[in-house]
Homo-oligomer: A and B are copies of this chain.
Amino acid sequence: MDLLDWLAAALGDDAVAAGVLTTDPALLDAVRTDRSGWTAEGRPVALVNATRVEHVQATLRAASEFRVPVVPRGAGTGLAGGANGTDGAIVLSVAGMDRILEISAEDQLAVVEPGVVNSDLNDTLQPYGLFFAPDPASRAISTVGGNIATNAGGLLCAKYGVTREAVLGLDVVLADGRLISTGHRTVKGVTGYDLTALFTGSEGTLGVIVGATVRLLPLPAGEPTTLGAIFPDVRSAAGASARITAAQLRPAVMELMDGPSLTRIADHLGPETIADAFGTTGGGSFLLVQFDGIGSADDAAAAARLIEEAGGSVRVSHDADEGERLLAIRRAFHPALAATGEVLIEDVAVPRSRLPEMFDAIERISERYGIPIPTVAHAGDGNLHPNFVFAGEEAPPIVWEAAGDLFRTAVELGGTLTGEHGVGVLKRRWLADELGPDSYELQVKLKSVFDPLGILNPGKVFGR
């Protein structure tokens, strides 16, 4: 029996009839890409659209039997090439496992399947007065399982924690098809090694996440207060954000856009949008700060003073509509860039105090390579997204050279080459440089414990 017959038999007639297994070339081609713009060469042999845990188990048993790679996949919104279907692999999509199985307001947790879309989960939680804190910019289309597989954070991490902190337990199908549960429904629990944290951010290389018990937080009380500020240059804006952190104010959102970003947003939305929001079209940098909770107005007033001391021109908004207009400027960032070409969205992080230096370095690298690098930063947690805009489908070598320079600089400043997007294929060549040879070797050995046959997303994270 060949792989496909074996897999079809393992999935069962009903599943096959329902379209769980497909070899349609158009569908196989569609899963060779993600949102990074990178497309894997060759073509996967099959796509399994799992709707039940048993489908995932059957797929991994088939893959083990035939020594065929499995590429786990959610909504495909990744930015590092981690879920791209490679040549000869089975792509195992869990996007169709999208049920919210339980919400416990008492225990402030939810049990979900991996394909639940972030914003759907938070819409469902809203009447309970609770929320799931991980908040990637792609929340309208990204899935909770994908957040967990990449430990993707988003805008709220400085105040509400990274994704790992929001995951209490996982159901995971191992490489040989066995199903295990990790973690607890409790806040605390220290029996054995923390496999929950180990699977979080493992990018499909240790097992396939088929369920998650996630921690929920109470929605902040009161109205948020939003500040928008224009600065003459990005260094002064970065200085202001560092002062806000050092003053122990805790904004929920603190987003910083540099001059090249602001110019493109103004071009995209029309300069009057910026003028309406700030009373000026000029400016070299934009800082957006939002405080929530009952002290938001006081916190915002204190932040406004710090911003003005740092040379910023600030507008404070207690009004939801006006706050929304300020946020709209931030949200226009990616569409504004995408309108001008293909975009490679990078993702370094540095200690917050080093943000001004990192912005200086980005400016230098931009000049050295003659490439504009509009950058937005989650300034509250030191995570920067420098963006390379280019013509054509794939990023040319010079873009990767500039990106390599960027990664090295971030690591030299005490930071990391990926704050939240993951390593995938696109950053694997720099991984060993950051980890060092001893940690790298340990990680490879760790993988082999979970994946002795090397069938789980091979070529992702590790390799050059």
Q: Which chain A residues have a beta carbon within 8 Å of chain B's beta carbons?
A: 104-109, 129-130, 150-153, 157-158, 161-162, 164-165, 174, 178, 180-182, 184-195, 197-198, 200-202, 206, 218-219, 221, 242, 245-246, 248, 250, 294-295, 298, 349-353, 378, 380-383, 414-423, 427, 431, 434-436, 438-440, 442-443, 445-447, 449-450, 461
CB-based contact A193/B198 at 8 Å: yes
Minimum CB–CB distance for A186 against chain B, Å: 4
Closest 4 CB pairs of A and B: A197-B197, A218-B248, A187-B381, A188-B419
Chain B residues whose C-beta falls within 8 Å of the C-beta of A450 in the assembled complex: 442
Interface pair B351/A185, CB less than 8 Å apart: yes
- Smallest CB separation, A292 vs chain B (Å): 13
Indicate which residue in B109, B164, B188, B415 contacts A184 across the interface (CB closer than 8 Å). B415
Complex Cα–Cα for A200 and B188 (A): 13
A-B contact pairs, 5 of them (CB 8 A): A104-B353, A186-B419, A188-B420, A190-B421, A195-B442
- Residue among A197, A438, A450 having the largest count of chain B Cβ atoms under 10 Å: A197
Q: Does A250 contact B218, Cβ atoms closer than 8 Å?
A: yes
Q: Check A443–B353 contact: CB distance below 8 A.
A: no
* CB–CB B191/A423 < 8 A: yes
Measured in the bound complex, the distance between the Cα atoms of B294 and A449 in whole Å is 49
Please give 17 more A-B residue pairs, beta carbons under 8 A apart, in addition to A104-B353, A189-B418: A105-B246, A106-B353, A157-B188, A178-B438, A181-B436, A184-B349, A186-B350, A187-B381, A188-B381, A188-B383, A190-B422, A193-B206, A198-B198, A218-B248, A219-B248, A221-B295, A442-B450
Instruction: Determine whether the beta carbon of B192 is less than 8 Å from that of A443.
Output: yes
A106-B246, A353-B106 as given contacts; A435 in contact with B191, CB under 8 Å: yes
Residues A443 and B186 in contact, CB atoms below 8 Å apart: no
CA distance A149 to B21 in the complex (A): 46
